[in-house]
């Protein structure tokens, strides 16, 4: 009886949560859905503009998803062939190896070459590979399990058709990310609806974001889960941590953790944010109080307050426990299955194990903590005099990797805008940074209540930047080539939207929306010329 | 609000003007290659000798062939290029002696219809020259120097005739855009995507104008 009652209660809870989520979706302003649709169509266009497998690492991401779709298992990561015979046939027919990294080379350019590709695929090479180890087979499976859905729903079994269907899922995730940027800004600046649209649209047209959204690439789920986490944490901070919000935070975080290992870098900041939310919830007046407690007197009053406080703690713990359960149970199941079912070399499928290996640095020593810290610092900031190593020419990482990379290092990092574009962008971003600072001062009253949560976001961001540095120095020493790419900081995309909105807010209220609209037009132009550049790269 | 419309309109006109200007730039345009990149010197050919190599079919609109040549500082010798297929020579070209080493362009002319699946390059003079390409193990697809199979492949990039703007190249772009993708895509794809992008722009601008109007009312 008890089990039946508990099952019925949990079903009713689930129904209530679903109804609540649907009602929340209905409350999203029309402008939010418009931004979502604009982003969806824009990214869908990119999925056709970029030739198959030309998004970084797309061959490996596709191979992982195809293996999951075809076998129902995760790649065993053995030292065998990495791709299926079908994928090998496609990449050979597309002249993939001749094209990537060589800006002057093109893929298929003539009908005869196209016919050769389709004839090779018409031989029906097997779509089932052996799941050999690639740079991404140690990643968790959620994105690839999701990609298995369009893979199987595809009306054609042709690999290129399936690839296009899978790319559309990435575009959908990108559009959801844009919607979350919109909602994040709505939470932060509830009295400036124009700012929500401006922030979301600059992200929707950001060409490096769209380029990644054009491909089968696990980063798309990472960006989505990160934006969802930032949004839900901010919402819980502003409106209170209810059970439903706890569940949604848990879902966002688990999507990130099971989407890409990079997300783990956010966990200390998320834990801090949850602790802050729980602490505030437990102290909230009225939480746990029962009618009459306020009127109690003497010893009875003290006991009543004590009981109420404990009830308050209990109520605050409920959403936290729900979030923790939603995160921990699937992650634990994944870890156990990695070891006992899929035999993938450790709890994280070899992902963290690889990152923690301390390779031998040149000079015959292991990478030290100091070297790691120096490297990480220099990735984002100018080198300080006491730092022994100069890993990058002065200031080049900040502008060369992060800024220039965000403006556009496309393909397998093999084509870029003309040099003057990056020079112009440096001045523009410097000006926008000054404007954004003015915007922060002007909006300080609106932003101040969210400062504690922003401190947690700061810890999350530091975690990400630190993780990039930690992995970067090891990768560079082992492989001799740079590791960092601008897209690695794109889990922080909501703050790019915020940055532009703050810059627009530097102007008086009358002119701020117009500046914001002009910045969106600039972002649209940026996206347009990135597309013409891409067309000239692959078809011109 | 009117000022906002005006400013946004001017910004859009500016973007359109830059796009038109960008598309109007005239330059040599490629039409494919033998899919070998000139990353190193891959063929050493003595003066008076020749290098031959199988290729993917010569594009029909190829009017010039670009190669990378190294002459050790001497002037480039006379070069004769011919593309052949099952039915004999399909296209030929030549370059007079005297140029500087580096990238060179040899004009080519179709002499017969049919498909070319190999080329031969005759090197005049008496000095050894090297050609850019990629190293690879000896195989049926690698180069033959004076009839002897070598490891390596010579890079040949094909160019269309003269200089062209992107507007002039649009029909070719449109055709190429539909290649190497799922079979549902074709010549229709690029124009349809352009229209979709126009729709996205119109939607975004309308949304911005709506926000500006709302803000003006507030």
pLDDT of residue A313: 77
The rounded distance, in Å, linking the Cα atoms of A348 and A86 is 29
Give mean pLDDT, residues A78-101: 94
The rounded distance, in Å, linking the Cα atoms of A179 and A107 is 35
The rounded distance, in Å, linking the Cα atoms of A36 and A183 is 11
Give mean pLDDT, residues A36-64: 98
Whether A503 has a pLDDT exceeding 80, the answer reads yes
Whether A292 has a pLDDT exceeding 50, the answer reads no
Give residues 20 to 39 of B whose Cβ lies within 8 Å of A.
22-23, 29-33, 35-37, 39
Residue B79 corresponds to which tokens in the numbers above? 């070069």
The rounded distance, in Å, linking the Cα atoms of A108 and A90 is 12
pTM beyond 0.80: the answer is yes
Burial of A282 (0-12, 13-18, 19+ CB in 10 A): buried
Residue B83 corresponds to which tokens in the numbers above? 């593309």
| B31 min Cα distance to partner chain A (Å) | 7
B196 contact residues in A (CB cutoff 8 A): 41, 44-45
Cβ-defined contact of A109 to B59 (cutoff 8 Å): yes
Contact A141, A66 (CB under 8 A): no
Contact A453, A237 (CB under 8 A): yes
- Residue of A93, A112, A417 for testing the chain B interface, max B β-carbons within 10 Å: A112
In terms of DSSP H, where are the helices of A27-135?
A: 30-49, 58-71, 85-93, 96-99, 111-122
The rounded distance, in Å, linking the Cα atoms of B197 and A131 is 38
A521 contact residues in B (CB cutoff 8 A): 8, 11-12, 15, 205, 208
Cβ-defined contact of A513 to B212 (cutoff 8 Å): yes
CA dihedral for A31, A222, A526, A169, sign (positive or negative)? negative
Q: Would residue A10 count as lying in a domain? A: no
Of all residues in chain B, the one with the smallest CA distance to A38 is B200
Tell me the pLDDT band of A458, cut-offs 50, 70 and 90. Answer: very high
Helix (H) / strand (E) element for A2: namely helix A2-26
Of all residues in chain A, the one with the smallest CA distance to B173 is A539
Residue A435 corresponds to which tokens in the numbers above? 């404007």
Tell me the pLDDT band of A328, cut-offs 50, 70 and 90. Answer: very high
What share of chain A in percent tops pLDDT 90?
74
Give residues 517 to 536 of A whose Cβ lies within 8 Å of B.
517-518, 520-522, 524-525, 528-529, 531-532, 535-536
User: For all residues of chain B together, what is the average pLDDT?
Assistant: 95
Q: Would residue A187 count as lying in a domain? A: yes
Distance of CA B204 to the CA centre of its chain: 35
Cβ-defined contact of A45 to B197 (cutoff 8 Å): yes
ipTM of the complex: 0.93
Give mean pLDDT, residues A122-134: 94
pLDDT of residue A354: 53
**Least confident segment among A328-342, A355-369, A451-465, B50-64:** A355-369
Contact A500, A432 (CB under 8 A): yes
Which DSSP state fits A401? I
Helix (H) / strand (E) element for B161: namely strand B157-164
The rounded distance, in Å, linking the Cα atoms of A182 and A497 is 8
Residue boundaries of the structural domains of chain B? 2-26+166-217, 28-163
Q: What are the residues whose beta carbons fall under 8 Å from the beta carbon of A251, sequence distance 6 or more?
A: A228, A326
Backbone angles phi and psi of B134, in degrees to 5:
-130, 140
Strand A360-361, strand A365-366: pairing:
antiparallel
Residue A528 corresponds to which tokens in the numbers above? 């347009």
Tell me the pLDDT band of A361, cut-offs 50, 70 and 90. Answer: low
Q: What is the pLDDT of residues A474-493, one digit of tens each?
A: 888 888 888 899 999 999 99
Cβ-defined contact of A37 to B203 (cutoff 8 Å): yes
Strand B64-70, strand B157-164: pairing:
antiparallel
| B48 min Cα distance to partner chain A (Å) | 30
The rounded distance, in Å, linking the Cα atoms of A430 and A444 is 21
Q: What is the pLDDT of residues A158-197, one digit of tens each?
A: 999 999 999 999 999 999 999 999 999 999 999 999 999 9
Strand B129-134, strand B153-154: pairing:
antiparallel
Q: What is the pLDDT of residues A101-127, one digit of tens each?
A: 999 999 999 999 999 999 999 999 999
Residue B203 forms contact with A (CB below 8 Å): yes
Of all residues in chain B, the one with the smallest CA distance to A99 is B35
Tell me the pLDDT band of A358, cut-offs 50, 70 and 90. Answer: low
The rounded distance, in Å, linking the Cα atoms of A10 and A251 is 17
3-state secondary structure of B54: strand
* B207-B208-B212 Cα angle (round to 5): 120
Whether A78 has a pLDDT exceeding 90, the answer reads no
Whether A290 has a pLDDT exceeding 50, the answer reads no
Q: Would residue A107 count as lying in a domain? A: no
pLDDT of residue A368: 86
In terms of DSSP H, where are the helices of chain B?
A: 2-24, 166-177, 189-217
The rounded distance, in Å, linking the Cα atoms of A375 and A390 is 8
User: For all residues of chain A together, what is the average pLDDT?
Assistant: 90
The rounded distance, in Å, linking the Cα atoms of B140 and B145 is 13
> How many other CB atoms are there within 10 angstroms of residue A79's CB atom?
8
Q: Give residue A135's domain range.
A: 55-84+127-539
The rounded distance, in Å, linking the Cα atoms of A223 and A129 is 28
CA dihedral for A176, A177, A179, A183, sign (positive or negative)? positive
Backbone angles phi and psi of A425, in degrees to 5:
-65, -35
Whether A4 has a pLDDT exceeding 80, the answer reads no
Q: What is the pLDDT of residues A196-235, one digit of tens each?
A: 999 999 999 999 999 999 999 999 999 999 999 999 999 9
pLDDT of residue A359: 57
Q: Would residue A528 count as lying in a domain? A: yes
* A6-A9-A13 Cα angle (round to 5): 135
In this complex, the residue of A110, A161, A193 whose CB is nearest that of residue B32 is: A110
pLDDT of residue B50: 96
Q: What is the pLDDT of residues B94-141, one digit of tens each?
A: 999 999 999 999 999 999 988 899 999 999 999 999 999 999 899 888
For A36, A513, B210, B211, the CA distances from B214, given in Å and listed in that order, are 20, 10, 6, 5
Helix (H) / strand (E) element for B80: namely strand B79-85
Cβ-defined contact of B19 to A532 (cutoff 8 Å): yes
Residue A261 forms contact with B (CB below 8 Å): no
The rounded distance, in Å, linking the Cα atoms of A35 and A26 is 15
Which DSSP state fits B215? H
The strand pairing partners of A416, in sequence order, are A409
Residue A342 forms contact with B (CB below 8 Å): no
pLDDT of residue A316: 79
Of all residues in chain B, the one with the smallest CA distance to A100 is B37
Q: Would residue A40 count as lying in a domain? A: no
Whether A296 has a pLDDT exceeding 60, the answer reads no
Give mean pLDDT, residues A335-340: 89
Whether A416 has a pLDDT exceeding 90, the answer reads yes
Any idea how long chain A is?
A: 540
Whether B4 has a pLDDT exceeding 90, the answer reads no
Higher pLDDT, A2 or A422: A422
Q: What is the pLDDT of residues B11-45, one digit of tens each?
A: 999 999 999 999 999 999 999 999 999 999 999 99
pLDDT of residue A305: 66
Give mean pLDDT, residues B62-68: 97
pLDDT of residue A291: 44
pLDDT of residue A315: 78
Residue A137 corresponds to which tokens in the numbers above? 């087979």
The rounded distance, in Å, linking the Cα atoms of A438 and A140 is 42
Of all residues in chain B, the one with the smallest CA distance to A511 is B4
**Least confident segment among A3-17, A167-181, A404-418, B39-53:** A3-17
pLDDT of residue B133: 97
> How many other CB atoms are there within 10 angstroms of residue A307's CB atom?
14
| A489 min Cα distance to partner chain B (Å) | 26
| A337 min Cα distance to partner chain B (Å) | 36
pLDDT of residue A294: 45
Cβ-defined contact of B200 to A105 (cutoff 8 Å): no
Cβ-defined contact of A197 to B208 (cutoff 8 Å): yes
| B104 min Cα distance to partner chain A (Å) | 15
What's the CATH code, domain B28-163?
A: 2.60.120
Residue A198 forms contact with B (CB below 8 Å): yes
Residue A35 forms contact with B (CB below 8 Å): yes
Residue B16 corresponds to which tokens in the numbers above? 């359109």
pLDDT of residue A387: 84
A536 contact residues in B (CB cutoff 8 A): 166
Contact A259, A142 (CB under 8 A): yes
* Number of domains within chain A: 1
Q: Would residue A199 count as lying in a domain? A: yes
């Amino acid at each position: 009886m008890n089990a039946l009652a508990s099952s019925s209660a949990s079903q009713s809870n689930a129904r209530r949560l679903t109804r609540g989520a649907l009602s929340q979706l209905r409350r999203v302003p029309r402008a939010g859905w418009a931004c979502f649709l604009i982003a969806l169509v824009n990214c869908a266009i990119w999925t056709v503009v970029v030739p198959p497998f030309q998004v970084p690492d797309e061959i490996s991401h596709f191979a992982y998803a195809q293996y999951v779709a075809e076998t129902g298992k995760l790649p065993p990561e053995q030292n065998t062939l990495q791709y299926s015979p079908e994928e090998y046939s496609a990449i050979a027919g597309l002249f993939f190896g001749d094209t990537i990294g060589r800006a002057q080379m093109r893929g298929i350019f003539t009908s005869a070459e196209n016919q050769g590709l389709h004839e090779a695929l018409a031989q029906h090479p097997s779509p089932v590979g052996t799941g050999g180890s690639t740079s991404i087979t140690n990643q968790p499976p959620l994105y690839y399990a999701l990609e298995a859905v369009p893979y199987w729903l595809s009306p054609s079994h042709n690999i290129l058709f399936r690839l296009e269907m899978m790319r559309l899922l990435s575009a959908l995730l990108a559009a959801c990310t844009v919607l979350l940027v919109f909602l994040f800004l709505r939470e932060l600046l509830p009295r400036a609806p124009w700012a929500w649209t401006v922030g979301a649209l600059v992200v929707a047209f950001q060409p490096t974001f769209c380029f990644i959204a054009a491909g089968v690439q696990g980063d798309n789920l990472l960006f989505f889960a990160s934006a969802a986490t930032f949004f839900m944490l901010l919402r819980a901070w502003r409106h209170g941590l209810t059970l439903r919000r706890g569940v949604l935070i848990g879902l966002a975080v688990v999507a990130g953790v099971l989407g890409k290992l990079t997300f783990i870098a956010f966990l200390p900041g998320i834990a801090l944010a949850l602790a802050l939310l729980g602490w505030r919830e437990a102290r909230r007046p009225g939480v746990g109080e029962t009618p009459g407690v306020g009127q109690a007197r003497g010893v009875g009053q003290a006991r009543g307050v004590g009981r109420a406080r404990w009830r308050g703690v209990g109520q605050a713990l409920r959403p936290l426990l729900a979030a923790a359960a939603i995160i921990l149970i699937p992650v634990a199941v994944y870890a156990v299955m990695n070891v006992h079912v899929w035999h993938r070399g450790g709890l994280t499928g070899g992902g963290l194990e690889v990152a923690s290996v301390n390779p031998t640095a040149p000079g015959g020593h292991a990478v030290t903590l100091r070297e790691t810290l120096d490297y990480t610092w220099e990735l984002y900031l100018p080198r300080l005099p006491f730092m022994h190593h100069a890993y990058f020419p002065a200031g080049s990482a900040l502008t060369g990797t992060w800024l220039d990379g965000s403006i556009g290092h496309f393909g397998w990092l093999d084509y870029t805008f003309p040099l003057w574009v990056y020079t112009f962008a440096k001045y523009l971003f410097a000006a926008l940074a000054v404007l954004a600072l003015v915007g922060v001062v002007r909006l300080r009253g609106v932003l101040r209540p969210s400062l504690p949560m922003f401190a947690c976001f700061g810890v999350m961001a530091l975690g990400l930047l630190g993780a990039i540095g930690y992995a970067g120095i090891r990768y560079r020493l082992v492989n001799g080539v740079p590791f960092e790419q601008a897209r690695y900081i794109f889990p922080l995309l909501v703050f790019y939207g915020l940055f532009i909105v703050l810059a627009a807010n530097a102007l008086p209220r009358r002119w701020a929306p117009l500046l914001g609209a002009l910045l969106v037009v600039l972002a649209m132009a940026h996206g347009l010329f990135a597309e013409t550049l891409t067309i000239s790269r692959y078809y011109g | 609000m009117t000022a906002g419309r005006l400013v946004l309109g001017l910004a859009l006109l500016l973007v359109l003007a830059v796009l038109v200007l960008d598309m109007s730039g005239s330059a040599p345009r490629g039409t494919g290659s033998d899919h070998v990149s000139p990353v190193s010197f891959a063929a050493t050919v003595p003066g008076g000798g020749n290098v031959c190599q199988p290729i993917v079919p010569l594009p029909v609109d190829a009017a010039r062939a670009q190669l990378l040549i190294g002459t050790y500082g001497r002037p480039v010798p006379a070069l004769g290029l011919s593309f052949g297929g099952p039915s004999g020579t399909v296209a030929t070209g030549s370059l007079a002696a005297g140029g500087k080493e580096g990238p060179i362009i040899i004009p080519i002319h179709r002499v017969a219809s049919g498909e070319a699946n190999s080329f031969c390059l005759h090197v005049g003079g008496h000095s050894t020259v090297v050609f850019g390409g990629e190293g690879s193990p000896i195989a049926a697809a690698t180069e033959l120097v004076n009839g002897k199979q070598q490891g390596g492949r010579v890079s040949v990039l094909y160019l269309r005739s003269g200089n062209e703007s992107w507007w002039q190249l649009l029909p070719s772009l449109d055709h190429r855009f539909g290649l190497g993708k799922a079979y549902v895509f074709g010549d229709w794809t690029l124009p349809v995507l352009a229209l979709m992008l126009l729709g996205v722009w119109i939607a975004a601008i309308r949304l911005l104008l709506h926000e500006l109007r709302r803000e003006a009312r507030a």
